[in-house]
Amino acid sequence: FILQVGEKYTTVAQFKKCLTYYALANGFSLLHETSGEVRVVAKCGQRPPRVSDPKKGKQRKKTKYPCASSDDLPKCPWRCYARWMTDEKTFQCISLVDEHTCVRNFNFGALVNYKWIAKIFGEIRANPDIRLCDIAELVMKKYKCKVSLHQCTNAKKYALTEYEKSTGEHYSMLRSYGKAILDSNPRSTIKLGVTVNPDGKTYFDRFYVCFAGLIDR
């Protein structure tokens, strides 16, 4: 996956998605130094190595990153700047230093979150009973990216919840769909059946369509 100066995107979300795929394809973590609707500045997400024998503060209880100044570490030059082009109505990559001097670590931090996992892997929606370890295995197999079971739990909940919402939205449009058919095909037959549960909520039952062309035969 390659980033290039001059590439244009319809939205800032599309550009950020492109950055995520770049990081996954190349094995480098990225950080958004500036992230807004008008401008995005991304830099290498290089971190100091973990300490194996922590001595100070919270490091005594848990392995933490050492409290080292960023000035003590060699700077990785990778940097990307993109902004919204008002005249062209596009989000465009303006400058790019496409060079990493750090070592690949395949640790992507906030770039890979539960929402991203839920949207990318349709297997979660297709199989609601999928195991968390299977979700983690799918991510590892496709992107060489390690995710926690906690992320997989949230991804599964999010995927199924969003699926239910989107399904409900589609069903709610059936009346409009039926009206559109009658507007374009007068004398057609449209029947929408619903059931009302004891909780008072209305649920879809059936939808019948017979176009006028078939009736006239």
Per-residue pLDDT 10s for the chain (217 aa) are 678 898 999 999 889 888 888 888 887 888 888 888 899 999 887 766 555 555 555 545 444 444 444 455 678 899 999 999 999 899 999 999 988 888 776 666 667 788 888 877 777 888 888 899 998 898 888 887 888 889 899 999 888 887 666 667 777 888 888 899 999 998 899 999 988 888 888 888 889 999 988 877 6
Q: What integer pLDDT is reported at residue 53 of this predicted model?
A: 59
Q: Three-class SS of residue 196? A: strand
Q: What integer pLDDT is reported at residue 68 of this predicted model?
A: 45
Instruction: Name the E strands within the chain.
Output: 8-9, 30-35, 39-44, 79-85, 90-97, 189-196, 202-210
Answering whether pTM is above 0.75, one says no
Cβ neighbours of residue 1 closer than 8 Å, sequence gap 6 or more: 21, 22, 24, 25, 26
The Cα–Cα gap between 15 and 26 comes to 17
Q: What integer pLDDT is reported at residue 67 of this predicted model?
A: 46
In this structure, how many other beta carbons lie within 10 angstroms of the beta carbon of residue 152?
A: 25
Q: What integer pLDDT is reported at residue 96 of this predicted model?
A: 92
Q: What integer pLDDT is reported at residue 95 of this predicted model?
A: 93
Q: Where are the domains of the chain?
A: 1-106, 112-172, 185-215
The Cα–Cα gap between 201 and 217 comes to 39
